Amino acid sequence: MKDETRVAQAGLNSGDEKGAISAPIYQTATFRHPGAGQSTGFDYSRTDNPTRRWLENEVRDLEHGADACAFSSGMAALTAVFFLFRSGDTVLLSEDLYGGTWRLVEEVFTPLGVRGRYIDTSDLRAVEAAYDPSVKGLLIETPSNPGMRISDLKALAAFARQRGLISIVDNTFLSPLRQKPLDLGADLVVHSGTKYLAGHNDTVCGLVVAREPALAERVRFLQNSSGSILGPFDAWLVMRGLKTLAVRIDRQEENARKLAGWLRAHPAVKAVHYPGLSDHPGKAVHDAQASGPGAMISFRTHDGPSALALIDAVKVISYAESLGGVESLITYPLTQTHAALPEALRLRTGVTDNLLRFSVGIEAFEDLRDDLEQALSHCKKG
């Protein structure tokens, strides 16, 4: 079955005896057992819930994994992944990554003895140079957030495999409809399901998908033990959103391609970072491992005040923190998504006061372009 069909029919084959097209919501904490020593297959909703399981199975199949677990947020999913490591372990991470992941590693796991080392994972030699025997994991964002740098997933997964590391890819920016890291050799995929998977900015969710059953079982154990599950109603909302993922991402990407080209030609725009542009430094690697450039764009105005002026001026596009939904959003990484990063890391990864992150939605291209045109009229030219 093609991905487009799979997502359109998410939850359809729930096996509901009444034939519901939309999978039922099992809003229950616990399940009545038929008799002593017997179970319907479900005992308690922290451990397993049919609605959550349907969502998990859909995402598992889209990512070509052995199993998937749905969490209460992307950060809960990443927390479960970091629970795989022990005190004394080091995890290599893309230096250009979501600020919340940096905060989790530095302020939650480092005091527990699990350390992060931040490197440019688009440079394989830098990754090799950062290795020492304490390194047990590698976490990659590609395209990275917010720099849109591209890392070679196949080469990095092979590097990880040779050294016995767990390789993890945060696939939030592209979704499994554009990139399938497990097929390229990664061990785990993480999603903020809040973004493209749910797609409507109406719920918060996370997912972890594992390629091998043993690792999947460990993640499920950690989830059940720590309790960070997605509730049944939210699982249903994500599954409903998932049904339109294919058409949403096609439309968002089409808008993004046009807007990236248009932005680049605008005199008030200093630079555009988007893997759909022919001169993006990572384009060849991206094209080899992903089926499209996605709909996330970063761009730079000529100075900081211009970026703030644009934020104040947009009307159709909302100034808000998140991405991947049907509504277009502009984010200011310096004070929003990447506020937690130390200044040195921010400067190294280009998170400066003139950087804007643009999550392109499904609105009419002309309305988005005209909104940017009027907003950019408040910005410094050239």
Ligand X SMILES: Cc1ncc(COP(=O)(O)O)c(C=O)c1O
Contacts with ligand X, residue ranges (CB under 6 A):
73-75, 98, 100, 141, 145, 170, 172, 192, 194, 204, 206, 337
- Least distance to ligand X, CB of residue 77, Å: 8
Nearer to ligand X by Cβ, of 124 and 340: the residue is 340
Nearer to ligand X by Cβ, of 100 and 147: the residue is 100
- Least distance to ligand X, CB of residue 100, Å: 5
Task: For residue 195, indicate whether it is catalytic.
Answer: yes
- Least distance to ligand X, CB of residue 141, Å: 6
Residues 10/58, Cβ–Cβ less than 8 Å: yes
Task: For residue 264, indicate whether it is catalytic.
Answer: no
Closest CA to 169 of 158, 185, 146: 185
Residue nearest to ligand X (CB): 74
Q: Provide DSSP, 186-201.
A: -SEEEEETTTTTT-SS
Give me the catalytic one of 26, 98, 274, 332.
98
* Tally of residues, the chain: 382
Task: For residue 274, indicate whether it is catalytic.
Answer: no
Give me the catalytic one of 67, 96, 152, 170.
170
- Least distance to ligand X, CB of residue 321, Å: 7
Nearer to ligand X by Cβ, of 245 and 309: the residue is 245
Q: Which two tokens stand for residue 121?
A: 């994972």
Query: What element of type H or E holds 113?
Result: none
Give me the catalytic one of 178, 195, 240, 346.
195
Question: Mind telling me the catalytic residues?
Answer: 46, 98, 170, 195
